Amino acid sequence: MERVARILDTIVEHCGRITAWASLAIVLVMAYNVFLRYAFSTGSVAMQELEWHLMAPIAILSMAYAIRHDGHVRVDVIYNRFPPRMQHAIEVISFLMVAAVSALIVYLSIPYVMQSYNIGEGSPDPGGLPARWILKACIPAGFALLVLQSLSAAIRVILTGHPQPAAEEAVDPVSHATSRHAAE
């Protein structure tokens, strides 16, 4: 099971790093658009659309990466008062529920993407980007990654009590303490 978790983590890790490069791309595209607007009083519809064509994958494809690195928001007010075994049970149930809901979203979004592909959907604006189905395909892809990462985290909690491998414990730069998982 540990090997399966490592494989799932590796897939999510690589996708997350690729998505991080999209952040650089969006900064460059936005800077280019601003330069065109203020230097030449012109712009490009395609380049403006490219901004949100990059923003959507960044948001959707990075959900799993955030869970992988424990960067998601959680409310620990009550959770921290539970004994470790109950915390582990809550984490496993939570990760399995996220995987189930994400799998449902993947299933429901595939026809949406296929419809866009079949009709050759593109931008309704003159000079806009074609192949809008590629952007829409980020929905099932992002939630499929979330399924993989949720399953990996559930496996790790079952095996070790922590959703991340021990070697990845983060150190808080302010207090120099390890993350909450190391403190348990």
At 92, list the tokens. Answer: 């496993």
Residue entry with tokens 């990462």 = 149
Residues of the chain with confidence (pLDDT) below 70: 165-184
Identify the pLDDT of residue 163.
Answer: 72
pLDDT for residue 181: 43
Dihedrals phi, psi of 176, to nearest 5 degrees: 60, 25
H or E stretch covering 141: helix 138-160
Structural domain count of the chain? 1
Query: Could you tell me the residue range of the domain that residue 150 belongs to?
Result: 2-72+82-168
Residue 146 lies in a domain: yes
Q: Has residue 179 been placed in a domain?
A: no
Residue 182 lies in a domain: no
User: Which of these, 113, 108, 107, lies nearest to 134 by C-alpha position?
Assistant: 113
Give a yes or no: residue 40 inside a domain: yes
Please name which of 138, 130, 132 lies closest in space to residue 110, comparing C-alpha atoms.
Answer: 138
pTM, to two decimals: 0.78
Domain contains 106: yes
Tell me if 99 is assigned to some domain: yes
- Is 23 part of a structural domain of the chain? yes
Instruction: Report if residue 175 sits inside a domain.
Output: no
